[in-house]
Amino acid sequence: MTPSDTSGRGRAPALLMRDIDKAFDGHPALTGAGFRLEYGHVHALVGENGAGKSTIMNVATAVYAADAGEVIVDGYGTALRTPAEALSAGLGMVHQHFRLVGRFTVAENVALALGGAGQPCSLSEAARRVREKAAELDFRLDPHARVERLSIAEQQRAEVLRVLLLGARILILDEPTAVLTAAEARALLALVRRLADEGRAVALVTHKLHEVAGYCDRVTIMRQGRTVLAAAEVAGADLNDFARLAVGELPDTPRPAPVTPGAPLLEIENLSVRRGDGSAAVEGLSLSLRAGEILGIAGVGGNGQPELVDCLSGLSPAVAGTVRLAGQEATRAPVRRRRRAGLAVIPADRSDSALIGGLPLAQNLALTGVWRGAFGPFWWLNKARMRRAAETAITERDIRGGGVATPAGLLSGGNAQKLLLARELGPGARVIVAHSPSRGLDLRATRAVHDALRQAVREGAACLLISEDLEEIMTLSNRIAVMNHGRLSAPMPVAEASAQALGALMAGHA
Ligand SMILES: Nc1ncnc2c1ncn2[C@@H]1O[C@H](COP(=O)(O)OP(=O)(O)OP(=O)(O)O)[C@@H](O)[C@H]1O
């Protein structure tokens, strides 16, 4: 397929959804929602956590059947019954959790998908098509690489490529940049822009208004399952109006009074950690973090940040160096002892290592409290107490989309993050290790996370904030250091940390 084949300019809308209703177990997720997407456009779909963005896109691609309403593709109101049928109609979706088979190579995944779509091809033919498509889109992707060995950004490219090779003219990307570094996000958005300029239609689900302003032609805003702004032009619009429509008026949070840091709660000396393949992930890292303080670690992803978090959590060993938590030697301490010392962890990949999708909200919230005896002895857990604690957390953290008995896996991405924060930022938290804590959260929820971290620190905790989002680092931290190739720069007070100075450290130029 050549780019010109994808052009649908001047035609009916690529995708027109009208009066869509969808409920799960009687709870409405969409009520009379609509979406209109034209060829040649990147169209942002924005809205608070749980607004129904993923659901409406899953209805478009027939992952879910709507209870009512119409889905019209290219002017034809055909009833699409399965994602495969949606794909043959030209609709392809890249989900928040990728759908590739990890143990297969990129080419095997493509051959599998093409076979499933009634276009069987040999492995060598699939590899050739992967190579050609990647070259056409100006990115590198080894067709013979096993997917599970690829970086997240490469896996995402493989997904986009697979969907395009299957013939998608209408591409739906559900929060694609939430898992990418800033540079990777820019590359993906440039690719998305190019796909639209070549004539495809792209729907981009996002919380980031700078992505709307920088790359999108139109924006649709959803709130509580309804479309509150339909296909508005982005050029010349005021982004603040979009923010207000998406999440309502945001209160100004007063800047907290500076606190005098107290006793050291996290002391790391010369820490070195290796990856599974034996390569150095963290090298000779030292830092001291005191009560009442947030130390921000900025840096491009893939420079040892997840390995540092895993090591501090007790999930992977240090090969050298020492770690002290709240004054206690903890270098080789098991997870339980670290937790007892007051360690709280918000890892970047919440669904893989922090929440259990099949367990109800109440049990996910109780996971770290059970062994502390917060709900009675192991053999006689007080379920009523668990439920009451969960009800309070759900109300206080504004977790929407489920009750105490709802499996955590059914929550929207942002609400799952709120659930994790509710558990980790409880009263016992003394040393908080937070990796990209506002990833996937809407503006209001991001503000709530930042307030919760500030409050925990005001009450005497210490926070190691690891984030690729410089704005997040600059607004929250007292001191800032940069992680590059597993090494940490000397922390500097926030007043001395300019974006240029940090940028130079991140690029390894300082
Ligand atoms: N399979 C499901 N079963 C039950 N409820 C669901 C299911 N999928 C979504 N929901 C609910 O539907 C509502 C809308 O969720 P959806 O994932 O569409 O929100 P979203 O706007 O994409 O949010 P986020 O920005 O947090 O990802 C939420 O209340 C969610 O809990």
Domain ranges of the chain: 12-90+201-247, 100-168, 254-342+431-439+462-510, 351-427
Q: What is this structure's pTM?
A: 0.81
CATH architecture of the domain formed by 12-90+201-247: 3-Layer(aba) Sandwich (3.40)
For ligand 1, is residue 155 a contact (CB within 6 Å)?
no
Residue 400 CB less than 6 A away from ligand 1: yes
Q: Which atom of ligand 1 is nearest to the CA of 222?
A: 21
Cα 61 from Cα 84, distance rounded (Å): 9
Which atom of ligand 1 lies closest to the CA of 402? 31
**Distance from the first to the final alpha carbon of the chain:** 46
Give the atom of ligand 1 at the shortest distance from the alpha carbon of 96: 27
Q: Is 60 exceeded by the pLDDT of residue 204?
A: yes
Q: Is the pLDDT of residue 3 over 80?
A: no
Contact 340, 365 (CB under 8 A): no
Q: Using one digit for the tens of pLDDT, what is the confidence trace for 341-372?
A: 999 999 987 777 789 999 999 999 988 887 77
Q: How far is 45 from 67, CA to CA, in rounded Å?
A: 21
**Token pair for 494:** 């926030």
The pLDDT assigned to 251 comes to 64
Helix (H) or strand (E) holding 483: strand 479-484
* Confidence (pLDDT) at 185: 87
414 — pLDDT class (breaks 50, 70, 90)? confident
Please state, rounded to an integer, the average pLDDT across all residues of the chain: 89
- The reply to whether domains 12-90+201-247 and 254-342+431-439+462-510 share a CATH topology is yes
pLDDT tens profile 266-289? 999 999 999 888 889 999 999 999
pLDDT tens digits for 398-412?
Answer: 898 889 999 999 988
Q: Is the minimum distance from the CB of 52 to ligand 1 under 6 angstroms?
A: yes
Expressed in angstroms and rounded, the spacing between residue 401 Cα and the centre of ligand 1 is 7
**Could you count the other beta carbons within 10 Å of the beta carbon of residue 409?**
13
Query: Given a cut of 70, is residue 290 above it in pLDDT?
Result: yes
Q: Is the Cβ atom of 413 under 6 angstroms away from ligand 1? A: yes
The alpha carbon of 24 and the centre of ligand 1 are apart by a number of angstroms equal to 9
pLDDT score at 7: 46
Has residue 510 got a pLDDT over 70?
A: no
The CATH architecture that domain 254-342+431-439+462-510 belongs to is 3-Layer(aba) Sandwich (3.40)
